[in-house]
Amino acid sequence: GDLMLDRYWFGDVSRISPEAPVPVVKIGKIEERLGGAGNVARNVSSIGARCALVSVMGSDDASRKIDHLLKLESINNQIIRDPELTTTIKLRVIGRQQQLVRLDFEAKPDKQILTQTLLEFESKVKESDVVILSDYGKGCLTNVAEMINICNTLSKPVIVDPKGSDFTRYKGANVITPNRDELHLATGISERDSDLPKKISVLCKELDFEALLLTRSEKGMTLFEQNGTQFHVPALAQEVYDVSGAGDTVIAIIGVMIANGETLQSAVKWANKAAGLVVAKLGTAVVVGEELFSED
């Protein structure tokens, strides 16, 4: 999926700039973390599962940072390099534990590199128990229809965290995990619709989804299966500190649990617990096995 480097600049704010009505942040600490599909892979690895990451990035400083972070997390690095591509960076400036601004640096990969990536993807799918596609709209999943077809041909479960206004491109995926806004943008379906289950069941049948997991923020998450079955779990977070990356955690844990032979409903329970843990942490965080599998 779409890979990026999440960079955090932390500092103190004690005055307003004389040049413009904005805070002056005196930077005291810099952190770099895997973002996007990298954060999904990090969540998979952090609970003890093996993970291979297929993506595209440049040959710049950010790409070298990503290589280092992947090695630290024991993630199998199967990333294609494009010297002409700018590796995606999301730079967040944090003052007094609040995000003040985010700066994005990005460019979309070209078709030739994406064709090469598709070949690498097919090679790794053959060795995998489950496939997770993390779409952030940065271009790496331009060929997502072909990717899903490869998974179906090889009888590998495929789970998609979607993006954009067209869910038809994910046709044939086993599970799709949109949030409320993503569902409405792509389908016009609102969680307030009185016939929500029926509408989602029709959508699943039309696009050949086994199920759709709707993540509903403070309301928890609801699994809608193609046959009309619903399964809801309430949110478990005691305190929400930062929701960034929560969707990465959800799809990662569902993938691991399905690969481990759990039912879809059981996988959703585990994913919901994991989401409740990560939203209490700052930034793109992960849940570790000791947290997730504790009895508390």
- What is the secondary structure of 173-188 as a DSSP string? -SEE--BHHHHHHHH-
Marked catalytic residue, from 181, 193, 248, 296? 248
Nearest to 252 by CA among 47, 79, 69, 112: 47
Are 86 and 60 in contact by the 8 Å Cβ rule? The answer is yes
Q: pLDDT digit string (tens) for 221-235?
A: 999 999 889 999 998
Of 128, 162, 127, which Cα lies nearest the Cα of 145? 162
Q: What stretches of 17-164 adopt beta strand conformation (E)?
A: 23-36, 52-53, 56-57, 76-77, 80-81, 89-95, 98-105, 131-134, 158-161
**Chain segment 167-204, per-residue pLDDT in tens:** 999 999 999 999 999 999 999 999 888 899 999 999 99
Instruction: List % helix, strand, coil for the chain (3-state, nearest 5).
Output: 35, 25, 40
Cβ pair 37, 120 in contact under 8 A? no
pLDDT digit string, tens, across residues 61-100: 999 999 999 999 999 999 999 999 999 999 999 998 889 9
**Looking at residue 293, what is its pLDDT?**
75
Contact between 45 and 75 under an 8 Å Cβ cutoff? The reply is: yes
- For the question of residue 67 being annotated catalytic, the response is no
SS (H, E, C) 221-237: EEEEECCCCEEEECCCC
